[in-house]
Amino acid sequence: MLITGIGVISAAGNNVVETLSSFEQGTRNAGPVTLFPTILKAPAFEVRQLPAEYYLEGWRTVSLALIAVDEAMKDARLSDLSGFRVGVCMGTTVASQLNALQFYKAYRETGAAPMTSVDRFLKGNLAEYIARRVHARGPRLSVVNACSSSTDAIGVALSWLKGGLCDIAIAGGSDELNHVPYCGFNSLGIANPGLCAPFDRDRKGLNLGEGAGVMVIETRATARKRGVVSPLFLSGYGTSSDAYHLTAPSPDGVGLKAALRAALAEAGISPGEVGFVNAHGTGTHDNDLVEGKALADIFGPELIMLSTKGFTGHTLGAAGGIEAVFTAAGLRAGWIPASAGFQNQDEAIPISPVRERTAVCGQYAVSTSLAFGGTNAAIVIGREEDA
Amino acid sequence: MKISGVGVICSRGLGVAAFEQALKSGWRKPGETEAHWLAPLDRLSKSSNPADSTNSGDSMSGLTGLGGEKAPAYLVTFDALPDKTLLKKIRRADAVSKMAVLAASDALVNSGMENIAAKRLGIIVATALGPHVTTFDFLDDILDHGDAAVSPTTFSNSVHNAAASYIAMSLNIKGPTLTISQFRFSFQEALRLAQVWLDQGRCDYVLAGAVDQYGDVLGYVADHKLTTAKDGRIKPFTFNPTCQVPGEGSVFFLLGNTSEGNVYCSVSEVHANDDPGQGKSVDINIIDADGMLPDESAYLAALSNDIPTAAYSPLFGSMMIGGAFNAAAGALMLKQQTRYATPVQDNPRGIRMLTESGSGGIGSIRCIGFDCYAEKSVIYLTKA
């Protein structure tokens, strides 16, 4: 399936070009939380300049999604959807929950509360909102698989396209930085008081972030019919459950390895054909240890890999979409940035991420996600050899 | 795609037998739950003892002294379950996860297939609102104790895919595990995805189902936006005006492309947002009408006098995932070759209603749902 368009917004930039510039310069746009009042001090990666034309009161997750959708559709030269079955599959965490503190505070104090927040919530289901906005008439799914949501959303889109449920899919994810998960991750003791350092020996946890990453994926026949060409394609998706623990990954990484093997099998490639891996790499002790070992087991110790969360923070339900876009952009550009925050090799992890901008060769790249609840997901993105 | 096992939990109990008994015996007045939003403002007070709460679906754990304001609701009662072994395994889980685990486990047991968990099994959980009660518990934490003193356990359980995770852990399922959330057709989309997964060999069987929970805030919102039937009687055939009574529960189906197990029927087609088979003849229509839309007149155009129509929402309550329960009723009818009479038969529009129970001659059933945009979903079930 061809990837004909990509769009992204995060603290690293409001589009793909700005993001690659941040990557080149090693810019890390983290800072104190400004979006809501809190006594907590953990820095976060906020999108500082949301374009005014996309601002929607109380719908930040939707706003972020629309920016990425519009960029991806423009990149794909997709404006008129008539005549095509277009599916929309989006991952999120925040948009699926009525995390409305003021609404709830008013309700529990008075037994009544204005319905503004509820109305926004009911109209803001991510996939449904986007499908209506772009007039897509195919299948719609909002995937709420915690931190693997949008990797899974892209995988679902691949399944839809292969299964003939649609001709084109708009897939990815979006999440805003929200007060409730910000408190939640702090309570879990995995919020870093400084900047995150994925895979580093001295890593102290994650930083939360926000953003959206979206791909337009279509069958080759549809792209031909539309007169669109692209060197990028989506060739595999694998997913599995650890069946181990609600918040901790299985120490043996067996679930992640199963997801990786399934994704490679669907792509019809061997691990040696993968040029680089954009790892989930949150900067927490457990995630990076388990993921690093699993990646080394599958791909070997010489694997070229990175985590881009040092540039974006952990964007939760958006992470997989954002990182899929970064992976596609890296394949297209032929380089990946330094894995921001990484300095010292962890002796317990048999691989280490790149420390500097690195040229990548090879036709394929992999992006991984691990989630609360023990779900693991991986996708394989390819670039045409003659591109 | 075949339905090879069904698991159900709702206010009428756990298991297909309890659900079938509800279909046979008809409507029963639902229980009542505290309705904090109906309390006069001066009687709302915060208790110093959160343990005072008596309603398991009440996120406002500190609210007491409300003077007995009640509203009808079709609620699940875990206390009445004869076997609590599984519940003990997931004692830290919240109510929505417990319902999902019980229904999913029940579907596996109901399939009669030995060692099914050892096969390549996937999970798809559809929900409209997820663990919203736990989310509000977490908001209580933030409001009562501040940002730095909230419960990590509550936060973990408030994540939407917690129920799927508990299913995977409880039943040792390691295949694809996905949670999806939409307000109206999430169950229908789950079925479509299950079919694709099976066809593409991503797994051999899929446990696909739906779960939603009642909570005080949901009760308030539903009562504010819709009309609540104070007598507890949902009247699905009134269409406009409508009345709702909140429900909760979970339904799971074991789906596969083979005829193994306790086969109920085939899921021959599923469509969301359209119905290319609009004129197709079936033996029975089942409609999802349940008062969750203020105007359900869209159903009228989808029905005809040639086909008897049933609606079972008065048995389990109004839920945005109610279509899953109706699909379970349809599957059971096809398997047992038994028609179940519509439980509440108020019929001001003169629709050709399935009014009497009876046996034989059911080859196909169409389950119909509409959303607030008058978009249609359909599930076609056929005799296996």
Q: Which amino acid is at A103?
A: F
Per-residue pLDDT of chain B (384 residues), as tens digits, is 999 999 999 999 999 999 999 999 999 999 998 888 777 655 554 433 333 333 344 444 444 434 568 899 999 999 888 888 999 999 989 999 999 999 999 999 999 998 887 789 999 999 999 999 999 999 999 999 999 999 999 999 999 999 999 999 999 999 999 999 999 899 999 999 999 999 999 999 999 999 999 999 999 999 999 999 999 999 999 999 999 999 999 999 999 999 988 999 999 999 998 788 778 899 999 999 999 999 999 999 999 999 999 999 999 999 999 999 999 999 999 999 999 999 999 999 999 999 999 998 999 999 999 999 999 999 999 999
Facing residue for B273 by CB, picked from A137, A373, A375: A137
Q: What ipTM was predicted for this assembly? A: 0.97
Cβ–Cβ below 8 Å for A180 and B138: yes
Give A340 to chain B, closest Cα distance, Å.
28
Asked if residues A354 and A129 have their Cβ atoms less than 8 Å apart, the reply is no
Residues of A in contact with B177 (CB under 8 A): 145, 239-241, 373-375
Task: List chain A residues with pLDDT less than 70.
Answer: 387
3-class secondary structure, A91: strand
pLDDT score of B40: 60
| Per-position b or e across B344-379, b if 16+ CB within 10 A of its CB | bbebeeebebbeeeeeeebebbbbbbbbeeebbbbb
In chain A, residues 285-344 whose CB comes closer than 8 Å to chain B: none
Range of the domain at B202: 2-382
pLDDT score of B81: 85
Cβ–Cβ below 8 Å for A184 and B152: yes
Cβ–Cβ below 8 Å for A152 and B178: yes
In chain B, residues 266-305 whose CB comes closer than 8 Å to chain A: 272-274
Cβ–Cβ below 8 Å for A115 and B221: yes
Which chain A residue is nearest to residue B123, measuring alpha carbons? Answer: A241
Whether chain B has a CB inside 8 Å of the CB on A371: the answer is yes
Cβ–Cβ below 8 Å for B150 and A184: yes
pTM of the entire predicted model: 0.95
Which residue in this structure is represented by tokens 């908001």? B139
Cβ–Cβ below 8 Å for B123 and A241: yes
Which residue in this structure is represented by tokens 């978009």? B375
| CATH class of segment(s) A2-383 | alpha beta
Fill in the DSSP letter of residue A326.
Answer: H
Please state the φ and ψ torsions of residue A379, each to the nearest 5 degrees.
-125, 150
Facing residue for A145 by CB, picked from B171, B178, B185: B178
pLDDT score of B51: 36
Give A100 to chain B, closest Cα distance, Å.
8
User: What is the number of alpha carbons within 13 Å of residue B24 lying toward its C-beta?
Assistant: 10
To probe the interface with A, which of B137, B144, B180 has the most A CB atoms within 10 Å? B180
Asked if residues A91 and A317 have their Cβ atoms less than 8 Å apart, the reply is yes
Q: Where are the domains of chain A?
A: 2-383
pLDDT score of B41: 57
3-class secondary structure, A188: coil
CATH of the domain at B368: 3.40.47.10
Residues of A in contact with B69 (CB under 8 A): none
Could you give the CA distance from residue B57 to residue B70 in angstroms, rounded to a whole number?
13
| Six token digits for residue B199 | 């066809």
What would the pLDDT profile of A101-117 be if each residue is shown by its tens digit? 999 999 998 888 999 99
Total of domains in chain B = 1
Whether chain A has a CB inside 8 Å of the CB on B150: the answer is yes
Count Cβ–Cβ pairs < 8 Å, chain A vs chain B.
Answer: 212
Pair type for strands B265-272 and B249-256 = unpaired
Cβ–Cβ below 8 Å for B139 and A241: no
Whether chain A has a CB inside 8 Å of the CB on B228: the answer is no
Cβ–Cβ below 8 Å for A183 and B37: no
3-class secondary structure, A168: strand
pLDDT score of B326: 98
Fill in the DSSP letter of residue A341.
Answer: T
Give B338 to chain A, closest Cα distance, Å.
33
Cβ–Cβ below 8 Å for A140 and B182: yes
Which chain A residue is nearest to residue B220, measuring alpha carbons? Answer: A112
Whether chain B has a CB inside 8 Å of the CB on A284: the answer is no
* A83 CB-near residues (< 8 Å, 6+ apart): none
Give A369 to chain B, closest Cα distance, Å.
13
Give A226 to chain B, closest Cα distance, Å.
25
Whether chain B has a CB inside 8 Å of the CB on A222: the answer is no
Can you give chain B as a three-state secondary structure string? CEEEEEEEEECCEECHHHHHHHHHHCCCCCEEEECHHHCCHHHCEECCCHHHCCCCCCCCCCEECCCCCEEEEECCCCCCCCCCHHHHHCCCCCHHHHHHHHHHHHHHHHHCCCCHHHCCEEEEEEECCCCHHHHHHHHHHHHHHCCCCCCHHHHHHCCCCHHHHHHHHHHCCCCCEEEEECCCCHHHHHHHHHHHHHHCCCCCEEEEEEEECCCHHHHHHHHHHCCECCCCCCCCCCCCCCCECEECEEEEEEEECCCCCCCCEEEEEEEECCCCCCCCCCCEEEECCCCCCCCCCHHHHHCCCCCCEECCHHHHCECCCHHHHHHHHHHHHHHHCEECCCCCCCCCCCCCECCCCEECCCCEEEEEEECCCCCEEEEEEECC
Which chain B residue is nearest to residue A181, measuring alpha carbons? Answer: B155
Whether chain B has a CB inside 8 Å of the CB on A355: the answer is no
Which chain A residue is nearest to residue B190, measuring alpha carbons? Answer: A141
Facing residue for A146 by CB, picked from B123, B161, B197: B161
